[in-house]
Amino acid sequence: MLQVPFIRENKDAVVARLAIRNLDAKPLIEEVLVLDEKRRSIQAELDGVLAESNKISKDIGALYKSGKADEANALKTKTGELKEQSKTLGDLLNETADALTQLLYKIPNVPNEKVPAGNSDADNVETFREGDFPILHENAKPHWELVKDYNIIDFELGNKITGAGFPVYIGKGARLQRALIAYFLDKNTKAGYTEYQLPHLINEASGIGTGQLPDKEGQMYHVTEDNLYLIPTAEVPGTNLFRDTLLNESDLPITITGYTPCFRREAGSYGAHVRGLNRLHQFDKVEIIRVEHPENSYKALDGMVAHIQGILKELELPYRILTLCGGDVTFASALTYDFEVFSTAQEKWLEVSSVSNFETFQANRLKLRFKNSDGKNELAHTLNGSSLALPRILASILENYQTPEGIKVPKVLVPYCGFEMIN
């Protein structure tokens, strides 16, 4: 959530930067400033009433001590009127502040200067590419056919149990999935991230804190009776560990990693681009999360990018890095880099990770602050990244490592899964 003082002091710049998202934010920003002015005016009036009430209360006490009971009793009538007035103003202040907050919830984060203009993912900018595309044998197949041949993932069985987008992993498919999770967690903990096991359901306040609510409410599975939501990513419970928290500057940076299943209700379209593991309603992901000093957050973002590059190099998968354009960057992000792995069998790039800096946007919602060197409370910066999302990584491994004899396992994963080939 944007800070009102920031909007007030940078009104034109905020409108200009939000235009990069293809959003005409001027009406919203104007409404924010009107509501904020109203809120401040009510607050000033309320402060005046409370100050007058306090002064009169002291005067009443002094009059009683002086034996002037009649004058004191006369003033009591005035304090009753002021009390009623303060209650009316307090209610109006709360109503106005709530309206302001609800309006701020509708405004996305201001994109960083590095975010290019653009309307959709077609306008994202490739900034780096590494790795050679494997040369596959003549009868190479996409993963949704390979998994049937080797009986390692059953989409139809998952559809029977739950519905489309809920696959069942079997035998070596399940072991390879588990190997990837363990490998990712080991890489992250060796890089200094502390591992957490996190809840798979969150309350409404947690969804609001990281920006999933109210923006993505329709994309999340909702347990209505308990008003809980299935997590779309470990980012949400992980970042909310520090909701309503005042840290010391020496506590920063805070680094977290965690594995969770993820649940996304978003409707899928039909076609090869969403077949098999390409788009699921339930999938596994290992996340990295950072709480950073504002001065260090973009250096930390570069470090997260380098960390994920190292993992993809060890998996020996061809990948590229994209800077997301204004039309594709997420609601809460100031700057996002996407990693895509090339699937030779599908002849397409598959997104496997997003790494984002949210600056103070989440921290403002979360009331996540630290006491700086001047002794003042300051909002921290939050960052997160997939390290990594499993479905498309698994799909890429199955497709890019296939041979006429079977599917090879990347060397780095062999110690984790205990076999070198799926055949």
Residue 233 labeled ligand binder = yes
Residue 266 labeled ligand binder = yes
Torsion of CA 211, 2, 97, 209, to 10 degrees: 20
Residue 206 labeled ligand binder = no
Residue 195 labeled ligand binder = no
Integer angstrom CA distances of residue 419 from 171, 210, 394: 12, 40, 16
pLDDT digits (tens, 9 = 90+) for 304-341: 999 999 999 999 999 999 999 999 999 999 999 999 99
Residue 275 labeled ligand binder = no
Residue 113 labeled ligand binder = no
What's this model's pTM, rounded to 2 decimal places?
0.93
pLDDT given for residue 68 in this prediction: 81
Strands, sheet with 222-223, edge to edge from the N-terminal-most edge strand: 201-203, 228-230, 222-223
pLDDT digits (tens, 9 = 90+) for 376-387: 999 999 999 999
Torsion of CA 129, 130, 136, 140, to 10 degrees: -50
Residue 45 labeled ligand binder = no
CA gap 211, 358 in Å, rounded? 10
In the numeric block, which tokens belong to residue 292? 């950073």
Domain architecture of the chain: domains with CATH: 4-104 (1.10.287.40), 121-422 (3.30.930.10)
CA gap 402, 134 in Å, rounded? 10
pLDDT given for residue 263 in this prediction: 97
pLDDT given for residue 112 in this prediction: 98
Q: Which of 337, 355, 385, 384 is nearest to 116 (CA)?
A: 337
In the predicted model, residues of the chain with pLDDT beneath 70 are 267-273
Residue 354 labeled ligand binder = yes
DSSP designation for 123: G
Residue 356 labeled ligand binder = no
Secondary structure of the chain: what % helix, strand, coil (to 5)? Answer: 45, 20, 30
| Residue 190 identity (one-letter amino acid) | K
Residue 384 labeled ligand binder = yes
pLDDT given for residue 271 in this prediction: 54
pLDDT given for residue 251 in this prediction: 98
Q: Which of 321, 325, 329 is nearest to 124 (CA)?
A: 325
Report helix, strand or coil for 353.
Answer: strand
